[in-house]
Structure 1
Amino acid sequence: MRFRVQAGVVLAALWMFFAIFGGTAEAHFSSTGFSDITVKDKSLEYNLFLLEKELLEALPTIDQDGNGQISESELAGGDKVLDALIYDRLIVTGNSNVGTGIILAAKHTEKAKMPMIELDINYDFAEPVDRYMVQYNFYDGTNPDHRSFATIRMGQQSIVQIINSSNNILQMEGYHGAAAGVDSQAGDNSEQQASPLVTSSSWTSVLKEYTQMGMEHIWSGADHLLFLCGLILAARTSGWKMLKLISAFTVGHSITLVLSALDLASLSPLIVEPLIALSIVFVAFENMFRKRFPKLESKQIVVTALFGMIHGFGFAEILHGTMAGNIALPLFSFNLGVEIGQLAVLVIVVPVLWLILKLFTTQSRQVWWTYGTSSLVGIMGLYWLVERVIAI
């Protein structure tokens, strides 16, 4: 009877975990946009990238046939509604004068390995601008976690800033230099006349924002959490083995995070997401049948590192398209946040799982525990795998 009570408590706890985390199988940070901003002497060019579903949420009337998608013809014929959207959601001022945004093009494109809709907008001003301000208002309650990664360019300089619901205003110095129309007779001195690229954000805000993003990416990624749980189950009560497995996973995802963020290697989310689900199925399978496949156990560290590399591409998905200019601080901060978030999960989960395992005093009950929990992990991973393959 006591064993049944213990088993019931364990299953209830696992059911709560899957009820909370198991319902989402979408790509991470699905609410992501990009803002490529080019600062000039009398104008500001704004290339806005939004996911199709975000544009539909902000502007449902553009879907004229009601099929839940935006066709090229609907984009081409939606000039007036798009103009109204930009007028309401994207306010650009130069020297405190509100600029009128002119949409030069609206098209389907790809950004950060994701299909997106690009709006090319131009803001012209009568006089040279000393200070620009951009107010980004794509927050209407439907997507409060939406972020836009702004790459601000001025001549040969560039900087990346993050726009979110609590920090949706960018302030930039105007650009007065050769590329902006200074007399070419200025010669070599023309480069010296160019204004430095200055925004209202500091390095500490970049550190804080990217670190927070890394932590949230771990905590909001149920598949990453489930894979970590699978590694903990694989280690059982061996702290040294767990350290080796977690270290292999960390090294693996850190390598591909760096390579992918630097655009030296990349994989489409359409490939990465099913592979992440497959890694969960594999670690569950290995936990249950390791005795039948001893070669798998001997290569466990290498396999974990390889799966860590796959998860690294999932981590880096959010950084694609944001690494122009100074990349060291955002990259370091995001990776730091991932490791902090991972450590926080381990601090909570490891004692709980070890305590539950201690409840199963006999070897047969421990085997039951291993098969039961690993089966649940594998079923969830298999569900995500099938769902993501079908969605391709």
Structure 2
Amino acid sequence: MNSFWFYFVEGWRHIISLDALDHQLFILALAVIYTFGDWKRVLVLVTAFTIGHSLTLALSVFDIIRITTSWVEFLIPVTILLTALWNILRQNKPKKMNANYFLALFFGLIHGLGFANTVRMMLASDESVGTGLLGFNLGLEAGQVIVVLLILLLTELLVAALKVPQRMYIFAVSALVLIISLKMALERVPLLS
């Protein structure tokens, strides 16, 4: 059980840590278009992201898949940038979850590759790989739920209580996320060799 809690805390830190800006920006871009009344829909999206993240972590830990770290580190901010751009170009909150769900799942696959090397090394000396992966992914999901709830509460405060127009709020937050992720992507462009 100690192994489970160790990895749970590591998963929690993976999203809550100040070093997790890319992860937090993606969750922000994913959740900013929703209000607190949509919390169930947002949790489904975040869970889809976690499923994708978990799948590539598992495939990597078992050495089934390996992708060059420089490309993964570049693709992560690209996924954030695309999500923020989609928010800016979209006129209304999506009525159906299908596209967003698959987007979150697919981008989760890419984000999972970003932390795969670290998790692979952590789990390499551990006999309970399954317990470690489960603990890490549950810690990650718990952290994401907290981040989502904070985003939804902030949205509720600004849009409902302070009457900031929701479209303006979405545009402003998404534009900020787009600028930060563009800067991150440009800093991480892999050198072609």
Q: Shorter-chain-normalised TM-score: which range?
A: 0.7 to 0.9
- Structure with greater strand percent: 1
Q: Secondary structure at the match of 1:230?
A: helix
Give the Cα–Cα distance (whole angstroms) in 2 for the partners of residues 215 and 224 of structure 1: 12
Give the aligned partner of residue 124 of structure 2.
Answer: 323
Give the aligned partner of residue 4 of structure 1.
Answer: none
Give the aligned partner of residue 338 of structure 1.
Answer: 140
**C-alpha spacing 1:210/1:388, structure 2 compared with 1 (3 Å):** same
Quote the offset at 1:391 in angstroms: 7.3
Give the Cα–Cα distance (whole angstroms) in 2 for the partners of residues 334 and 360 of structure 1: 38
Structure 1 gap ranges (5+): 1-203
Q: Does 1:214 align with 2:19?
A: no
What are the Cα deviations for residues 166-203 of structure 1, in whole angstroms up to 9, with x where unaligned? xxxxxxxxxxxxxxxxxxxxxxxxxxxxxxxxxxxxxx
Q: Secondary structure at the match of 1:389?
A: coil
TM-score by length of 2: 0.83
For the Cα contact (< 8 Å) 1:230–1:374, is it kept in 2? yes
Quote the offset at 1:257 in angstroms: 1.7
Q: Secondary structure at the match of 2:32?
A: helix
Give 1:107-186 correspondences, 5 Å limit: none
**C-alpha spacing 1:241/1:208, structure 2 compared with 1 (3 Å):** closer
Quote the offset at 1:360 in angstroms: 5.3
For the Cα contact (< 8 Å) 2:50–2:137, is it kept in 1? no
Q: 2:24 aligns with which of 204, 208, 225?
A: 225
For the Cα contact (< 8 Å) 1:360–1:366, is it kept in 2? no
Q: 1:262 aligns with which of 48, 54, 62?
A: 62
Quote the offset at 1:298 in angstroms: 5.7
Q: Does 1:243 align with 2:34?
A: no
Q: Secondary structure at the match of 1:243?
A: helix
Alpha-carbon RMSD across the aligned residues, in angstroms, is: 2.4
Name the amino acid aligned to 2:30: L
**C-alpha spacing 1:320/1:219, structure 2 compared with 1 (3 Å):** same
Give the Cα–Cα distance (whole angstroms) in 2 for the partners of residues 312 and 390 of structure 1: 18
TM-score by length of 1: 0.43
Give the Cα–Cα distance (whole angstroms) in 1 for the partners of residues 62 and 171 of structure 2: 41
- Tell me the matched-pair count: 184
Question: Which structure would you say has the larger Rg?
Answer: 1
Give the Cα–Cα distance (whole angstroms) in 1 for the partners of residues 32 and 151 of structure 2: 10
Name the amino acid aligned to 1:222: L
What are the Cα deviations for residues 92-120 of structure 1, in whole angstroms up to 9, with x where unaligned? xxxxxxxxxxxxxxxxxxxxxxxxxxxxx
Give the aligned partner of residue 137 of structure 1.
Answer: none
Give the aligned partner of residue 114 of structure 2.
Answer: 314
Give the aligned partner of residue 140 of structure 1.
Answer: none
Higher relative contact order (CA 8 A, sep 6+): 2
Give the aligned partner of residue 288 of structure 1.
Answer: 88
Give the Cα–Cα distance (whole angstroms) in 2 for the partners of residues 344 and 317 of structure 1: 25
**C-alpha spacing 1:331/1:247, structure 2 compared with 1 (3 Å):** closer
Give the Cα–Cα distance (whole angstroms) in 1 for the partners of residues 130 and 39 of structure 2: 33
